[in-house]
A and B are shown apart, each in its own frame.
Chain A
Amino acid sequence: MTQIQFTAPTSVKAAVRCLAEGGKNPKVLAGGTDLLVQLRAGRVKPSTIVDIKKIPELKQIKAEKGGFRIGAAVAGAELSAHPGVKKAWPGLVEGFDLIGSTQIQGRASLGGNLCNGSPAADSVPALIAAGATCKIAGPKGTREANVETIVIGPGKTSLKKGEFIVSFFLPKRPRRSGDAYLRLIPRTEMDIAVVGAGVSLSIDSKGVCTDARVSLGAVAPTPLLVKAGAKALIGTKVDDAALAALAAAASAACKPIDDKRGTIVYRTKVAGVLARRAALIALDRAKGK
């Protein structure tokens, strides 16, 4: 057996070099809560493991342009402890906080949740609804991409060879904005989403929705940005008719699978119900309730 190499670079530049020189199948390690399980099961056989947690930028949460820049390796417990992010983006923090147990929260990161590529990843619909972008470093320098462009299939990302995510950017919130993420699981804790729904919206002083983003998880091969769902809300007072249109748009966007967690019919129906409930929570938050 050839040995797996290990490096823990302390800068983004050094990490790019480690990935470039890391043999046939270098793997980034953040919290390891997906990677180590896959390693143990023999599902991944990395040539090199590059631990990105020693890079300061990957572990920081900073204010930037009125919004926040969150290191890709920041753990769930660290994000939950940040009052600023929690106040501006409670839905994202709640979505991330749903991942696993206290022990998993001590390690699991946003970058790992996204790049593992699971259609059911709980923080991803919340990130997409938030309009988050990510900063990607690679052999050709850095670039910024929308979160919804990263996962392209179960376990597959659009990251090119040698690229990794450095941080996420959450844009400035207009006044009267709110977000929420809800998931359905058969248990109360420690399970994989049957459906997840994230909604972020802003309203004006008259209560009219001026901007919205809607995202669904676990109902298609990738997390979805549901533009028709947002359209159903924008320009309305998020009344019953708008919410019914949102639910219909969410259900229409689903391309789910049948499995032991839920049938196609069930997932499609629940996607509409959860999108509607998440929109109501986001609306309450936008109204400061």
Chain B
Amino acid sequence: MAKHHVNTTINGDPVEFLCDTEQTLLDCLRDELGLTGSKEGCSSGDCGACSVTVDGRLVCSCLVLGIEADGCEIGTIEGVANGDELHPLQKHFLKEAALQCGICTPGFIVAAKSMLALNPDPSESEMRYWLAGNLCRCTGYDKIIKAVTNAAAEMRGE
């Protein structure tokens, strides 16, 4: 069987790629499109390093088939900054040093961004529950929560 021809939108731009049925969206982003910001930590939905949005909904791209992206709008970490200007989440992750090795960071930022789109002023407990599917082996999470809290405040104009 020939490869599937997928037409999708990634971070607002129309994109086409070819894939096999068993290739995940994460495989397609990284290997077919060179969008290596989304990371592969586990490939089983446990770590959240591969977090992207599909039609606005936060998902693990390792648990979505590439072909399922056909006709959908995908949002990845590559679309978070506005050109050269970092997103408030990115700025505050740097400022708070909310990362060490950094492999979890794209997933946290994509997940936090989707949370703030629905809930601009989450409590700490809401943040921790929303981000429970994002694992970090380095930071111990407190700095991440601080960075998200400060970014949320900045985004609310406080």
The interface of chain A, by Cβ under 8 A from chain B, is 3-6, 8, 29, 31-33, 36-37, 39-40, 49, 51, 53, 75, 77, 100-104, 106-107, 189-190
User: Contacts of A5 on B, CB cut-off 8 Å?
Assistant: 1, 21
Q: Are A101 and B67 in contact (CB-based, < 8 A)?
A: no
Within the complex, which residue of A33, A39, A51, A102 is in contact with B68, where a contact is CB–CB below 8 Å? A51
Nearest 3 pairs between A and B by C-beta?
A101-B133, A4-B21, A189-B132
Q: Are B51 and A32 in contact (CB-based, < 8 A)?
A: no
Which of B1, B22, B114, B134 has most chain A Cβ within 10 Å? B22
Q: Are A6 and B65 in contact (CB-based, < 8 A)?
A: yes
User: Contacts of B67 on A, CB cut-off 8 Å?
Assistant: 6
Within the complex, which residue of B4, B43, B59, B68 is in contact with A103, where a contact is CB–CB below 8 Å? B59
Instruction: Mark interface residues in B103-131 (1 if CB within 8 Å of A CB, else 0).
Output: 00000000100110000000000000111
Q: Are B48 and A3 in contact (CB-based, < 8 A)?
A: no
Q: Known contacts being A103-B60, A190-B132, is A49 close to B46, with CB within 8 Å?
A: no
Instruction: Mark interface residues in B54-74 (1 if CB within 8 Å of A CB, else 0).
Output: 100111101111011000000
The complex places the Cα of A32 from the Cα of B60 at a distance, in Å, of 10
Residue of A nearest to B52 (CB): A103
How many residues belonging to B are interface residues under a CB distance threshold of 8 Å?
32
The interface of chain B, by Cβ under 8 A from chain A, is 1, 4, 20-22, 24, 43-46, 48, 51, 54, 57-60, 62-65, 67-68, 111, 114-115, 129-134
Q: Are B58 and A3 in contact (CB-based, < 8 A)?
A: no
User: Contacts of B44 on A, CB cut-off 8 Å?
Assistant: 37, 40
Minimum CB–CB distance from B119 to chain A (whole Å) comes to: 11
Q: Are B4 and A6 in contact (CB-based, < 8 A)?
A: yes
Which of B1, B44, B68, B111 has most chain A Cβ within 10 Å? B68
Q: Are A100 and B1 in contact (CB-based, < 8 A)?
A: no
Q: Are B45 and A100 in contact (CB-based, < 8 A)?
A: yes
The complex places the Cα of A232 from the Cα of B27 at a distance, in Å, of 53
Q: Are A102 and B1 in contact (CB-based, < 8 A)?
A: no
User: Contacts of A190 on B, CB cut-off 8 Å?
Assistant: 46, 132-133
Residue of B nearest to A40 (CB): B43
User: Contacts of B129 on A, CB cut-off 8 Å?
Assistant: 102, 189
Q: A31-B63, A40-B43 are in contact. List 6 more A-B contacts (CB 8 A).
A: A37-B45, A49-B21, A100-B133, A102-B58, A103-B58, A107-B63
Minimum CB–CB distance from B102 to chain A (whole Å) comes to: 19
User: Contacts of B63 on A, CB cut-off 8 Å?
Assistant: 31-33, 36-37, 103-104, 107
Q: Are B24 and A103 in contact (CB-based, < 8 A)?
A: no
The complex places the Cα of A8 from the Cα of B72 at a distance, in Å, of 14
Which of B51, B57, B130 has most chain A Cβ within 10 Å? B57
Residue of B nearest to A31 (CB): B63
User: Contacts of B58 on A, CB cut-off 8 Å?
Assistant: 102-103, 106
User: Contacts of A51 on B, CB cut-off 8 Å?
Assistant: 65, 68
Q: Are A103 and B111 in contact (CB-based, < 8 A)?
A: yes
Minimum CB–CB distance from A225 to chain B (whole Å) comes to: 30
